[in-house]
Amino acid sequence: MAPHESSFVTDIEPATEHVAGVGIDGLAPYRRVVTFYPHQPESRVMTAQTVQQGDLVTVIGLEVHVQLETDTKIFCGCSTEQTDEPNEHVCPVCLGLPGALPVLNEGAVEAAVKIGKAIDAEIPEETRFHRKNYYYPDLPKNFQITQYDEPICADGELEVAVEGTRRTITIERAHLEEDPGSLQHVGGGIDTADYTLVNYNRAGTPLMEIVTAPDFRSPSEVRAFLAELEEVLEYLGVFDAERDGSLRIDANLSIIPEDEIESGDIDDIGSSALETANRTEVKNISSHKGAQKALAYEETRQKNAIERGRAVEQETRHWDESRGITVSMRSKEEEKDYRYFEEADLPPLRVADWKDEISIPELPSARRERFQAEYGLDEESASKLTSTKQVADFYETVAAEFDPDLAATWVADNLLGELNYRDMEITDLEGRLNEVTRLVELVATDEITAKNARETVLRSMLDDERTPEEIVDAEGLGKTGEDEVQQAVVEAIDENPDAVSDYESGDDGAINFLVGQVMQKTGGSADPGDVNQLLRAELEA
């Protein structure tokens, strides 16, 4: 618990502006390198005239920060476990005390290589770390150890399905870095706070920053990508989506008039059109839904401005989740101000061969395709069943024992449906999944009806944490014996001569009435299909 009710936690980093420029001569020993989206340093006003000539195309690129699931921090042996106690997991390295030296966590590098494999990226022969200098109390060293011109992963891609079509998003790079600490601005907002409280538990948590090409054309594509990315990371076992603050997103958005796209294809926008467009960077996004909302807001804001003939400022904006708007942020640093230079305390990394040594599990997209081919599932079921590794693993367990269609209905529709309704995840059933398998078995072997299994047993299993057998016994749901059903069939026919004569004169609806009578007599535990057959057999006899 935060000790001050009026305080709030912020994760805002000083704004980055990738404006090409030269440092003070001689004071800049770094190489002038990566400008992710090169553009002109001066604002350019889009005139109303250019707009009238055609439609506007939205172009979005992402920088996604994900916390890697390791036991310890990236450069020291402090635990990454979350705790409410401030400054509990700290040591001289992550506090930036003089003389302390970083030592790289092998686990973080393994996780990065796994991500590289999953996004089909190149792991260069040699990669290294840089210092990114900025003065803010969330960084006790006054620099962040990150990667600059030699990231551990380069030139990857991820395929996503958006509204039925497949799109390949280029991932330009993914690099390792350390998370800063967290600040609480006490007694007001960032600008008006009385003072600041600093907690370095998070400082040094391994982060992977994943940078995409400006390949997105709508906020919904961004959301689909983030969902897919998160799925992949969870499959790899390197990421915990449940962890607070484990996913943070910065997005670049610009609006380009369609007639400036030389190729005429909005998926192939030339670099000159991208360069001349004014781009805003939206920071402080922390979820898929937040990304879609923030970017939809920003898209509308920019389009409105252009349609009214106003200029779109090249600036950094802050997504205010509670108000649902983006607000302009003063940007202090430009890229050159970070004075990137090589981290001499960390020797270079040569891990290209780890790509062959480290194996990764089958990824969601491959598994989706296999589920369709191997179990004859439709795309929607296959997609639901691969939504998390746990769901997919469980489906395969059930499908190995029972009919794959029955397994799909039970896992994808019944189980996930009821879990979703209760805001639960399959992981909440850890240790009880064999009970669900047992329930499917009860249905598969006709011991209880599918309806009772679904509506009574499964729900009670989730709500009351009882086993299927307990519920079946307590509720008397065991399927009625065949003799009993047969007896009820005979009774129903004897008691309803009118319906029988209607049936005999060709009124097919009469059989349904008789089925209803039998179901009533057996307390709903008979199988309606069986009853129908038994009735017809008896009536035709």
Q: Name the residues that contact other proteins, by CB under 8 A.
A: 3, 24-27, 29, 70-72, 76-79, 85-92, 95, 103-109, 126, 134-137, 183-185, 190-200, 332-333, 337, 346-351
Residue 135 CB, nearest approach to other proteins (Å): 5
**C-alpha–C-alpha distance, residues 434 and 460, integer Å:** 16
Query: Can you tell me whether residue 91 is helix, strand or coil?
Result: coil
Residue 101 CB, nearest approach to other proteins (Å): 10
**C-alpha–C-alpha distance, residues 436 and 414, integer Å:** 11
Please compute Rg for the chain using Cα positions. Answer: 30
**C-alpha–C-alpha distance, residues 98 and 393, integer Å:** 49
CB of 230 closer than 8 Å to CB of 181: no
Residue 76 CB, nearest approach to other proteins (Å): 7
Q: Which is nearer to other proteins, 197 or 227 (CB)?
A: 197
Q: Which is nearer to other proteins, 90 or 118 (CB)?
A: 90
Residue 333 CB, nearest approach to other proteins (Å): 7
Q: Which is nearer to other proteins, 75 or 410 (CB)?
A: 75
Residue 140 CB, nearest approach to other proteins (Å): 9
Q: What number of other Cβ atoms are within 10 A of residue 152's Cβ?
A: 27
Residue 446 CB, nearest approach to other proteins (Å): 50
CB of 278 closer than 8 Å to CB of 44: yes
Can you tell me which residue has the tokens 């920071």?
283
Q: Which is nearer to other proteins, 227 or 346 (CB)?
A: 346
**C-alpha–C-alpha distance, residues 262 and 256, integer Å:** 11
CB neighbour list of residue 127: distance below 8 Å, 6 or more residues apart: 147, 150, 151, 152, 348, 349, 351
**C-alpha–C-alpha distance, residues 36 and 274, integer Å:** 11
Sign of CA dihedral 379, 380, 381, 384: positive
Residue 244 CB, nearest approach to other proteins (Å): 18
Q: Which is nearer to other proteins, 109 or 531 (CB)?
A: 109
Q: What letters, b where the CB count within 10 A reaches 16 and e where it falls short, cover 130-139? A: bbbbbeeebb
Sign of CA dihedral 422, 426, 429, 435: positive
Q: Which is nearer to other proteins, 329 or 429 (CB)?
A: 329
Residue 89 CB, nearest approach to other proteins (Å): 6
CB neighbour list of residue 34: distance below 8 Å, 6 or more residues apart: 148, 149, 173
**C-alpha–C-alpha distance, residues 135 and 141, integer Å:** 9
Residue 7 CB, nearest approach to other proteins (Å): 10
Q: Which is nearer to other proteins, 151 or 468 (CB)?
A: 151
Residue 321 CB, nearest approach to other proteins (Å): 19
CB of 260 closer than 8 Å to CB of 273: yes
Residue 24 CB, nearest approach to other proteins (Å): 6
Q: Which is nearer to other proteins, 189 or 529 (CB)?
A: 189
**C-alpha–C-alpha distance, residues 313 and 43, integer Å:** 7
CB of 188 closer than 8 Å to CB of 166: no
Q: Which is nearer to other proteins, 191 or 498 (CB)?
A: 191
Count of alpha carbons within 13 angstroms of residue 99, beta-carbon side: 0
Q: Which is nearer to other proteins, 127 or 314 (CB)?
A: 127
Q: Which is nearer to other proteins, 185 or 288 (CB)?
A: 185
**C-alpha–C-alpha distance, residues 353 and 126, integer Å:** 11
Q: What number of other Cβ atoms are within 10 A of residue 417's Cβ?
A: 13
Query: Can you tell me whether residue 509 is helix, strand or coil?
Result: helix
